Chains A and B, each alone.
Chain A
Amino acid sequence: MAAAPAIELEHVTKTFTDFTAVEDLTLAIDDGHFFALLGPSGCGKTTTLRMVGGFEEPTAGTIRLHGENVTGLKPYRRLVNTVFQSYALFPHLTVFENVAFGLRRREVSEGEVRKRVGEVLDLVQLTGRENRKPRQLSGGQQQRVAVARALVNHPRVLLLDEPLGALDLKLRKEMQIELKRIQQEVGITFVHVTHDQEEAMTMADTIAVMHQGRIERMGAPTEIYEDPRTAFVAGFLGASNLMGGTVDGDRGTIALSAGGVVYADPKHIPAGVREVLVGVRPEKVSLFLPGDETAPRNRLRGKVTDASFIGVSTHYLVHCPQVGEMAVVVQNLDDRRFSLGEDVVAAWNPDHTFGVAG
């Protein structure tokens, strides 16, 4: 028998008096995975996490941890630990006692407590700060205490609710790498809630994109980036150029509503629908001079309306009569730049076309 997933949600719904925050959510997270729950503010991420942690009871549905049904179980009876968005460090206790809190509740011997707290503080690189009070630490240090306080209990699942939300960009990047390192070192399941798509993509093995209480798309970062399947995911995860069109029989060509065709790999075009939006990521599009036969198969003529040089790349806006404005990101490899008003062809490889139900 295959090992049960670390976390399973089955048809979980959470309704607050008049508002459904999570709707019929079904999902399984494998043991040892770094799982990111991504979505805009108010989509139900925190609510989902709180139901797994036991702070909120689902209105309907079942929650299983490693195969055991924990629905209705108190938080202190679940072998998961949480890193709260606000950290929720105990202000009246030292760093050491904060971290030791869970061990003391489980009546671990004093020697063992010292050993394990020492180890985990080492892991988060806070050795020497044992006797500080939380308020005497910087934001990043507090965040690491919060992680240590959870990890010291050797949970099989760690839940993190936007743990990096309060940090500045530089520290955020550092902590992303550090959290990922810790996860790989201890090898436990991380469920990481964030509304930062870049953060989710850098850290996670699997991303679930949530929207209005439902999971719209779930998969490996590259997979859902290359093939987002819904207009929401396409827009939320990176930028996309979307164009309306009609699929022909074999899903390999899409006739644009405004004339012209776009070629695609049929497996990226949803089956069973005729009206679709086809899209392509800005960095997958290149610009060519009209008549250049080396351009890939999907070609749209247009005029450059905006060009901004960003250092590593140049961002163009190209007005194409058939689809409107198209965003194009070109890496600054050679010094061929296109100037405003120039006639160009925006072209991309059919493999990079994706379709979402229109």
Chain B
Amino acid sequence: MMRTIKRLLLPTYLGFGLLYLFLPVLVVILFSFNDYQGRFNVRWQGFTLEHWLDPFRVEEIPQALGVSIVLAAVSSGIATIIGTLIALALTRYRFKGRSATNVLLFFPMATPEVVLGSSLLGLFVAMGTGAGFLTLLLAHILFIISYAVATIRARMVGFDRHLEEAAMDLYANEWDTFRKVTLPMILPGVFAAFLLGFALSLDDFVVSNFTAGTIQTYPLYVWGAARRGIPAQVNVWGTVIFVVTVTVMLLFLGAQRRRQQRLGLT
């Protein structure tokens, strides 16, 4: 009796945990099929494919989504490049201000987003740049970099410096060494950092709200629409983003595992 309980305890606990995590997502997906009347899509009123067949009905949604995707790709791309270089420098060289850099990098992660966003707005106003896509981009790059550095650096622990020396010994100059040896070795970390940054940027609301000016990202659109009633197309696109994200993650993990098997790491 006790043993049965014990045996069931963990799966039950896990089941509730997962349910708790996924219930909101399931609700979002479910309500993309809701045949609701009026402005508010909050009570289940019957099944329809209407919203899925007409995802572009509310023009602002694909527009805002487009902005968000471009923003996420560009900001995460730039932050990943800068983050890679910082991570390389931090693990490679002992330079003046190295430990200071370590601490400073932690700041954007530790600072409450509200504080970060409002300070940035203050800065942009003081500089007279106004707010728009560029300020939005700068703000996103800023808060993604720290995460990018942290992710890539975790990957570089245990990186054998002799590998780079061996490449140089075999006539590879600095650039070839980076291209042929360093980068292929840290690529999974770089890619993971890019995905993380992309996700962080895509669903950022607080910092964007301060620094976007009149630009509307997807989260900003949803926030604005909430007062008027959120159209079910938001659920449709939310579902698409969810599915795409999960697929990419699974592909990434699969590729990782294959790579490890190929290298005989497992």
Question: Chain B residues with Cβ under 8 A from A86's Cβ?
Answer: 160, 162
Taking a contact as CB atoms closer than 8 A, the residue among A54, A80, A92 that contacts B263 in the complex is A92
Given known A-B contacts A105-B176, A133-B263, A135-B265, A84 and B171 have beta carbons under 8 A apart: no
We find that the number of chain A residues with CB closer than 8 angstroms to chain B is 26
* Contact assessment for B263 and A105 in the assembled complex, using a CB-CB cutoff below 8 Å: no
Q: How far is the CB of B255 from the nearest CB of chain A, in Å?
A: 14
Interface residues of A in 74-93 (CB under 8 A from B): 74-76, 80-82, 84, 86, 88-92
A91 to B263 alpha-carbon distance, docked (Å): 7
Question: Chain B residues with Cβ under 8 A from A55's Cβ?
Answer: 165, 168-169
A136 to B262 alpha-carbon distance, docked (Å): 9
Closest to B180 in A: A101
Given known A-B contacts A74-B168, A133-B262, A88 and B162 have beta carbons under 8 A apart: yes
Taking a contact as CB atoms closer than 8 A, the residue among A88, A133, A135 that contacts B166 in the complex is A88
Q: Is A149 part of the contact surface with B, judged by Cβ < 8 Å? A: yes
Given known A-B contacts A88-B160, A133-B263, A136-B264, A149 and B185 have beta carbons under 8 A apart: no
* Contact assessment for A82 and B184 in the assembled complex, using a CB-CB cutoff below 8 Å: no
Count chain B CB atoms within 10 A of each CB in A86, A90, A136 and give the residue with the most: A90
Q: Is A106 part of the contact surface with B, judged by Cβ < 8 Å? A: yes
**A120-141 to B contact mask, C-beta < 8 Å, 1/0:** 0000000000000101100000
* Contact assessment for B168 and A133 in the assembled complex, using a CB-CB cutoff below 8 Å: no
Q: Is B256 part of the contact surface with A, judged by Cβ < 8 Å? A: no
Q: Is A219 part of the contact surface with B, judged by Cβ < 8 Å? A: no
Q: How far is the CB of A47 from the nearest CB of chain B, in Å?
A: 14
Count chain A CB atoms within 10 A of each CB in B168, B172, B184, B262 and give the residue with the most: B168
Q: Is B142 part of the contact surface with A, judged by Cβ < 8 Å? A: no
Q: Is B29 part of the contact surface with A, judged by Cβ < 8 Å? A: no
Interface residues of B in 62-77 (CB under 8 A from A): none
Q: How far is the CB of B169 from the nearest CB of chain A, in Å?
A: 5
* Contact assessment for A90 and B171 in the assembled complex, using a CB-CB cutoff below 8 Å: no
Interface residues of A in 55-83 (CB under 8 A from B): 55, 74-76, 80-82
Q: Is B167 part of the contact surface with A, judged by Cβ < 8 Å? A: yes
Question: Chain A residues with Cβ under 8 A from B185's Cβ?
Answer: 91-92
Closest to A53 in B: B169
Q: How far is the CB of B221 from the nearest CB of chain A, in Å?
A: 43
Interface residues of B in 137-172 (CB under 8 A from A): 160, 162-163, 165-172
Q: Is B181 part of the contact surface with A, judged by Cβ < 8 Å? A: yes
Question: Chain A residues with Cβ under 8 A from B111's Cβ?
Answer: none
Interface residues of B in 168-190 (CB under 8 A from A): 168-173, 176, 180-181, 184-185
Question: Chain B residues with Cβ under 8 A from A106's Cβ?
Answer: 171
Q: Is A153 part of the contact surface with B, judged by Cβ < 8 Å? A: yes
Given known A-B contacts A81-B170, A105-B170, A88 and B165 have beta carbons under 8 A apart: yes
Question: Chain A residues with Cβ under 8 A from B176's Cβ?
Answer: 105
A136 to B181 alpha-carbon distance, docked (Å): 19
Question: Chain A residues with Cβ under 8 A from B168's Cβ?
Answer: 54-55, 74-76
Count chain A CB atoms within 10 A of each CB in B163, B173, B184 and give the residue with the most: B163
Question: Chain B residues with Cβ under 8 A from A105's Cβ?
Answer: 170-172, 176
**A324-355 to B contact mask, C-beta < 8 Å, 1/0:** 00000000000000000000000000000000
Given known A-B contacts A74-B173, A86-B160, A90-B181, A101 and B263 have beta carbons under 8 A apart: no
A80 to B162 alpha-carbon distance, docked (Å): 16
A23 to B17 alpha-carbon distance, docked (Å): 65
Taking a contact as CB atoms closer than 8 A, the residue among A91, A102, A133, A135 that contacts B171 in the complex is A102
Q: How far is the CB of B160 from the nearest CB of chain A, in Å?
A: 6
Taking a contact as CB atoms closer than 8 A, the residue among A75, A92, A136 that contacts B165 in the complex is A75
Besides A76-B173, A90-B166, A101-B170, 9 new A-B residue pairs in contact (Cβ under 8 A), listed by A number? A55-B169, A74-B168, A76-B168, A76-B169, A88-B165, A88-B166, A101-B180, A135-B263, A135-B265
